[in-house]
Structure 1
Amino acid sequence: MMHICFVTDEYPKEGFPHGGIGSFVKTIAKELVQRGVRVSVVGINYTQNREYESADDIHVFRLPRRHLKGFAWWANARTINKTIAEIHRQNPITVVETAELGLAFLNKIKGVKYVIRTHGGHHFFSEAENRGIDPWKGFQEKRSFAKADAFITVSEYVKTHTAKYLSYKGKPVETINYPVNIDLFRPISKAAVDKSIVFAGTVCEKKGVRQLVQAFEHVKEAFPAATLHIYGRDWFFPDGSSYVKMLQDRELPALGPAAASIFFHGPISHLHLPEKYAEAHVCAFPSHMETQGLVVPEAMLMKKAVVFSALGPGPETIVDGQTGLLCNPHSPEDIAQKIQWVFDNPDEVDAMAERARTSALTKYSPDRIVGLNLAFYKSL
């Protein structure tokens, strides 16, 4: 039996927020199990407790978080290595998969293949965040890439952009998109709130939230009934200050009365996200940089008009004017124009939404994506 071991701290846990990597691993793990593959997930817990669960036949090992100043990385890596070795002794592992810097301190087991899936690492996002490379994180990613046997990239863009900073060293590289839960994200019989704009994702600069807030002023002038609903966990600056509070203190006052129609709802369970998409007249995700992004195909599957970034993987995800709209994420005026077009053209938007769902079903269905992953694993 093939046995895949995912190494990630983000596997969803009730009561704790998680990002796109966690959603991806849970989705693909369930599909792999249904294909007869054994799946283990190993990661550091949110607490100092060791926990094990086996939900949907996915074996999840959450390891106690260490807090040794300056040496937490070593202690956590030691715990992960020990756990993977124990799992391998009981049920031999075929493939270990992790994100960009995840192999830096893993011990390689003979006969096991080690795969990095490029979800968007430190080097990749350095450009979008307009910062330099942190020496420690940069070292870890380079060390990790050198230890990998193969790579999966989630879009052609992330493949080529990552290669600007890190070498694949001639090893196998395959582009395979994220799968999307087509059972969870499907049209539901809930009327959209007229002129409502919905954003979902981490509330931070690289997701284009600041420009979306600035764009809202223009939208509100043209459509006084417009509202903007922002769902997602807050991001914090290095000094610990909140990005949401920065927006509330610096950006919202400049909007005047329009600010009262912007709502920050905080984190939301992935299971409850479909009902929020359903309420949207338009979903807007003006990201400065993405690897692929799950929220866009999720909204497309629900027959929603989507405004996405023209940068990065945007053109791979949406055919502009056919299955959605692409915007310049650095231009509040352009973001506003695309949103206003949706409000102004209901008939064209309905047809666009139909095409969007068909496109997303074809490209991101778990059945297709898992088949591609299994074929790649077997090729190793």
Structure 2
Amino acid sequence: MNLSITHRQLNISLIVSDLSSKGAGRWGGGIRPFLLAQALQNLGHQVKLFGIAYDSDGPLINQQNLKIITVPCSYYSGLGGSWRSLSQLLPQIDGDILYAVKLKPSSYGIALIKKYLSNRPLIVDIDDWEMSWFGGDYWQYHFKVKGFIKDIIKSDGPLKHPDHPLYLRWMEKLINKADAVTIHTQFIQQRFGGVYIPNGKDTILFNPDNYDAEFSRNKYQLNEYKILMFPGAPRPYKGVEDILMALDKLNNPELKLVIVGGSPYDEYDQTLQKKWGKWLIQLPKSPVQQMPEIVAAAHLIVVPQQDTPATKAQFPLKLTDGMAMAKPILATKVGDIPNILGDTGYLVDPNSPEQLADKIKWIFEHLEEANNKGKLARERCIKYYSIESMSEILNQVLQPYYSQK
């Protein structure tokens, strides 16, 4: 799909909450800020990414033709350290449009300050309900003057944490200060409003015609197995344990679950290996450019999200990895997943290892039929979940700014 560009070029500053290799940079370009950047570039706009890099270096791999400006900062540096980093970053943010990704102080908060200093229009993109990690609407900060001061000043005080829920709640209350809001799931739209822009996939890069499944299986030493693949970092809410329990039930040594990358936050990977190591193969984290070759090795992509407020707010990028590569997909009926897949994948109830086991067995017994459904999934991905689809909607969002000088 080629977009006809009839508008003037804009200089757009994407302000990202953490551009370190442990944050938004950990997948080397495959997540929401980089997808938005690619979609905006597709419209002919000049795009730069700006952000603080907490306790780490910059992104794993810099996307081609995308300028990334980061300022290092200690994660628990408190107001003083954050202000020093902010004072270095703010003068460099030079866009005609400010586009903050996430309702966080380290993205939307920075963008609000820049908006009031420069009087530039501000768009905010919400790709998670950040408060869902802390109890959502039930969370409360029990304010006491002495306790508040201690929380700010103490070396390990919780209010030195830039993502403390008190700050996240403040950001939610300031959402009306943005000139426009974009979102990527129905759950977030119902909560915050905004224009729906689903995550797109680079369906040119993720094109199964360019890769040989057997070659990939041999390269990654997977050729002896029937491969279920979870192409992301496992977390408890992502339901990987349900897949592993399903494999226990099937007890078929030919089946293996391949996880690509791992958790950068804790020892959850080791916990899985200790209990279910006989079913697991873990590949190292890889840049987005390498992911199509890895996904090509899969017989089945699994996205077994559990049913939580956090997962309802998410758009699992692993879905479009599999869809774009025409792979059979087995997922759970959580959030937007049924709408994204339509009738081009297989769905079971969340938190149901028994249903997963039955469906895994059925898919491998009817693999030709499943592969044909995977081809339909690619067609659906191209139509609704491509970078071009994102570009078309973003073009409408930006219409009010094309005539401004």
TM-score computed with the length of structure 2 as normaliser: 0.76
Tell me the residue number matched to 1:243. 268
Greater relative CO, 1 or 2 (CA 8 Å, sep 6+): 2
Retained in 1: the 8 A contact 2:345–2:374?
A: yes
Q: Displacement of 1:337 after TM fit?
A: 1.8
Q: Displacement of 1:65 after TM fit?
A: 1.4
Distance 1:93-1:13 versus aligned 2 partners, 3 A rule: farther
Retained in 1: the 8 A contact 2:103–2:126?
A: yes
Alignment of 1:126-141 (within 5 A): 126=134, 132=139, 135-141=165-171
Tell me the residue number matched to 2:344. 323
Retained in 1: the 8 A contact 2:22–2:56?
A: no
Select 2:301's aligned residue among 259, 283, 286. 283
Distance 1:127-1:195 versus aligned 2 partners, 3 A rule: farther
**Unaligned 5+ residue runs, structure 1?**
253-258
Tell me the residue number matched to 1:99. 102
1:353 aligns to 2:356 (yes or no): no
Retained in 2: the 8 A contact 1:20–1:294?
A: no
Matching residue's letter, 1:218: K
Retained in 2: the 8 A contact 1:329–1:335?
A: no
Select 2:45's aligned residue among 37, 46, 62. 37
Matching residue's letter, 2:96: I
Retained in 2: the 8 A contact 1:283–1:305?
A: yes
Matching residue's letter, 1:176: I
Retained in 1: the 8 A contact 2:10–2:45?
A: yes
Retained in 2: the 8 A contact 1:94–1:113?
A: yes
In 1: Cα distance, 2:337 partner to 2:57 partner:
40
Distance 1:245-1:137 versus aligned 2 partners, 3 A rule: farther
Distance 1:13-1:36 versus aligned 2 partners, 3 A rule: farther
Q: Displacement of 1:292 after TM fit?
A: 1.1
Retained in 2: the 8 A contact 1:12–1:22?
A: no
Tell me the residue number matched to 1:263. 281
* SS of residue paired to 1:18: helix
Q: Displacement of 1:14 after TM fit?
A: 11
Tell me the residue number matched to 2:161. none
Distance 1:218-1:235 versus aligned 2 partners, 3 A rule: farther
Tell me the residue number matched to 1:203. 234
Larger helix share, 1 or 2: 2
In 2: Cα distance, 1:195 partner to 1:174 partner:
40
In 1: Cα distance, 2:380 partner to 2:272 partner:
35
Matching residue's letter, 1:267: K
- Shifted more, 325-334 versus 20-29: the winner is 20-29
In 2: Cα distance, 1:50 partner to 1:361 partner:
31
Distance 1:376-1:136 versus aligned 2 partners, 3 A rule: same
Q: Displacement of 1:195 after TM fit?
A: 2.0
Select 2:391's aligned residue among 358, 370, 374. 370
* SS of residue paired to 1:7: strand
* SS of residue paired to 2:302: strand
Retained in 1: the 8 A contact 2:127–2:183?
A: yes
Q: Displacement of 1:284 after TM fit?
A: 0.6
Distance 1:48-1:365 versus aligned 2 partners, 3 A rule: closer
Tell me the residue number matched to 1:227. 256
Distance 1:112-1:15 versus aligned 2 partners, 3 A rule: closer
Tell me the residue number matched to 1:182. 203
- Shifted more, 107-116 versus 79-88: the winner is 79-88
CA deviation vs aligned residue, 1:290-340 (integer Å, no higher than 9, x gap): 521211112111110011221111111112xx3001122311111222222
Distance 1:29-1:2 versus aligned 2 partners, 3 A rule: same
Matching residue's letter, 1:44: I
In 2: Cα distance, 1:66 partner to 1:353 partner:
44
Distance 1:377-1:121 versus aligned 2 partners, 3 A rule: same
Retained in 1: the 8 A contact 2:328–2:345?
A: yes
Q: Displacement of 1:38 after TM fit?
A: 1.4
The CA RMSD measured in Å over matched residues stands at 3.2
In 2: Cα distance, 1:48 partner to 1:227 partner:
33
Alignment of 1:73-222 (within 5 A): 75-76=81-82, 79-80=85-86, 83-88=89-94, 92-101=95-104, 102-105=107-110, 106-107=112-113, 108-109=115-116, 110-126=118-134, 132=139, 135-160=165-190, 163=191, 167=192, 173-187=194-208, 188-191=211-214, 193=223, 195-219=226-250, 221=251
In 1: Cα distance, 2:134 partner to 2:54 partner:
26
Q: Displacement of 1:17 after TM fit?
A: 5.6
Q: Displacement of 1:3 after TM fit?
A: 1.7
Tell me the residue number matched to 1:256. none
> When the two structures are aligned, how many residues end up with a matched partner?
349
TM-score computed with the length of structure 1 as normaliser: 0.80
Tell me the residue number matched to 1:306. 329
Retained in 1: the 8 A contact 2:28–2:286?
A: no
